[in-house]
Homo-oligomer: A and B are copies of this chain.
Amino acid sequence: MNIEFIIGLTAGILCTVSFLPQVIKAIRTKQTKDLSLITFSIFSLGVSLWFIYGFLIRKTPIILANGVTLILVILILIFKIRYG
Tell me the A residues contacting B by CB distance below 8 Å: 3-4, 7-8, 10-22, 24-26, 29, 31-36, 38-40, 42-43, 45-47, 49-50, 52-53, 56-57
A22 interface neighbour in B33, B35, B52, Cβ under 8 Å: B35
27 sample A-B contacts, Cβ–Cβ < 8 Å, listed by A number: A4-B53, A4-B57, A7-B49, A7-B56, A8-B49, A8-B57, A10-B46, A11-B50, A11-B53, A14-B46, A14-B49, A15-B46, A15-B50, A18-B46, A19-B39, A20-B39, A21-B38, A22-B36, A24-B36, A25-B34, A26-B34, A31-B33, A31-B34, A32-B34, A33-B34, A34-B34, A34-B35
